[in-house]
Structure 1
Amino acid sequence: MFWYEDEVKRLEQEHLKLPYQPKTAFYGSSTITLWDSLYDDFKDFSPVNLGFGGSTLSACAWYFDRVFAQFEEINSVIIYAGDNDLSNNRHPEEIYLFLFQLFENIQRRFGVIDCTYISIKPSPQRWYLNDQVKYTNKIIEKEISQRSNQLHFIDIYNLYLDENHRPNASFYQSDGLHFNKLGHDLLKDKLVGHLSTLVLQ
C-alpha cells in the first residue's frame, strides 16, 4: 500500500483548505479525485473531496482512519471504487468484503450515518471486465438492500451505455477509463437527487 502514501498525506491536509466543517465526504478512486467541479456541484451539501488516484476499495478501507481523522461532522459518505480492484485481479467477492469493511469503519468512526456506494461503471478501456463488473454490482446491491436503511446503492451502469449496450465514449476521456465533464455531469445529476432525498428524511 506504500505507493498511496503521498496521496494520503495530501488528504490528511485537505481540511486546511476548507472554510467550513464538511458534512458530505466523497471517497474513492480517480472518479472522485478527478472531479474538478465537485466542490461547486455539491456546495449545498458541504462537501469534501477525499478521492485518491488509483485507489482500490481495499486501500480505502486500509487508509480510512488516517484520511478521516480530521473530520468530526460528517453525516454522509459517497463511495466510488472497485474497478481498480477488478483490474488488479481481485475477485468480486473480495471487493464485496472490502466495501463492507469500509462501511464498518465509517460507522465505528461516525455512528450510523448515510453511506452510499456508486456502482462500478462500464468503461471502454476495461470492457473485458464487464461480466465481473456486473456481478460485483449485483452482489453488492443485493446485500445493501437487505441491510440498514442508512446504506444506499446508486446504480449508474446503464447510464453510460449507448444504444448498442456498450460504453458510450462521449462520457469518457480519451483514455477510455476516466469520466470527462459530460460523464461527471451525468453522475452529478444522479447524486444531487439522491442527496436531496437524504436531507429530507
Structure 2
Amino acid sequence: MKILLSLLLVFGSCLACAGESPHSYWNPAIAAFEAADRANPPPQHAVLFIGSSSIEHWKTVAADFPEVQVINRGFGGSVLSDSTYFADRIIAPYHPRAIVLYAGDNDLYYQHTPQQVRDDFVAFVHKVRSFDPGVPVAFVAIKPSVARQSLLPQIEQANRLIRSYAATQHDVAYIDVFTPMLGSDGQPQQKWFGPDGLHMNRSGYLLWIGLLKPWVDAHGR
C-alpha cells in the first residue's frame, strides 16, 4: 500500500506538471463503476457508501446492513476531494437516501493538513447537496491504524474539526469509530487490522457495523 501511495503522489505531480487534473488517475475506476451501472442498474434512493479503501474493501456491506438498500462506491487510495470531484458521476445518478463517507486517511498521509481535510469535507457536503438538497451525510471518523500511528495527532485534530463542523449542520453526522478503536493506552490496536496494520479485518468491520447501524437504519428506510 505504501508503494501504491508513493506512486500516486508521483503520478499526481506529473499530471499537475502536464496541466491535467490529479483526479484523472481515477477515471478508469469511475468508468468501471459507470459500466457496471449500465449493465446492472443499482437501486435509486439507496444508502451510498463512498470513499477510500476502507469502503472499497467492505465487500459485505450490503449483507451487513440487510434492512436497507446499499451501494458501495469506494475506490482505494483516493482522497476526500476525489469523491467530490466525481460526485456528478458516482453520486448524483443514484439520488441516495443517505451517504456514508470514509475518507481523509490518505489525505493526511499525503501531508494534507487537518484543516484541509475539514474544508474538503465541507466541500463534499456542499457538492452532494447541490443536486440532492438536505441529503443526510455521515462522516466515519478517520481510523487510528497501526501503520499510521505517527499520524495520530493529525488524525485526532482532523476528526475534532469535522465533528465540530458536523455539530453545526442539519443531518450531517460524525460517527466516532476513532475512540473505540484505541486501546486503554490511547494507541492503535492491531486486533482490528490485517497484517499490513492499515486495512481492517473482519473484527474491525464488525465494530464499525455496530457503530454505524443506528444511523444507517434511521436514515436508510
2:208 to 187, 191, 201: 187
CA shift at 1:19, angstroms? 6.1
Is the 8 Å Cα contact of residues 22 and 48 (structure 1) preserved in structure 2? no
1:110 aligns with 2:119: no
CA contact (8 A) 2:92 2:128 kept: no
Counterpart-to-counterpart distance in 2, 1:163 and 1:18: 45
Bigger-Rg structure (1/2): 2
Structure 1 residue 28: Cα displacement: 0.4
Deviation at 1:14, TM superposition (A): 4.0
**C-alpha deviation, 1:2, in angstroms:** 2.0
Whether the aligned pair in 2 keeps the contact of 1:118 and 1:153 (CA below 8 Å) is yes
Residue number in structure 2 paired with 1:50:
73
Q: Secondary structure at the match of 2:44?
A: coil
CA contact (8 A) 2:115 2:158 kept: yes
1:161 aligns with 2:179: no
Q: Of the candidates 17, 26, 29, which is equivalent to residue 40 of structure 2?
A: 17
Q: Whole-Å Cα distance in 1 between the matches of residues 42 and 127 of structure 2? A: 26
Secondary structure of the structure 2 residue equivalent to 1:43: coil
Q: How many residue pairs were aligned? A: 198
Classify 1:82/1:168 alpha carbon distance in 2 versus 1 (closer, same or farther; 3 Å).
same
> Which residue, out of 192, 196, 207, partners 1:175?
196
Name the CA distance, whole Å, in 2 between partners of 1:116 and 1:192.
12
Q: Contact (CA 8 Å) 1:26, 1:48: kept in 2 or not?
A: yes
1:64 matched residue in structure 2? 87
Q: 1:133 to 1:81 in 2, by over 3 A?
A: same
TM-score by length of 2: 0.84
Q: How far has the Cα of 1:190 moved from its partner? A: 1.0
Query: Which amino acid is 1:107 matched to?
Result: R
The equivalent residue for 2:173 is 152
- TM-score, structure 1 as length reference: 0.92
Cα displacement (A) at 1:170: 1.0
**1: CA distance, partners of 2:186 / 2:169:** 31
Once the 2 structures are TM-superposed, how far is the Cα of residue 64 of structure 1 from its aligned partner? 1.1
What secondary structure does 1:48 align onto? strand
- How far off is 1:21 after superposition? 2.9
Q: Do the aligned residues in 2 keep the contact of 1:12 with 1:70 (CA within 8 Å)? A: no
Quote the residue 2:62 is aligned against: 39
Q: Flag structure 1 segments of 5+ consecutive residues without an equivalent.
A: none
Q: Which residue of 1 aligns with 2:150?
A: 128
Unaligned 5+ residue runs, structure 2? 1-22
Q: Which residue of the partner structure matches residue 51 of structure 2?
A: 28
User: Deviation string for 1:20-54 (max 9, x for gaps)?
Assistant: 33510001000000002111112321000011111
Q: Contact 2:46–2:220 (CA<8 Å) still a contact in 1?
A: no
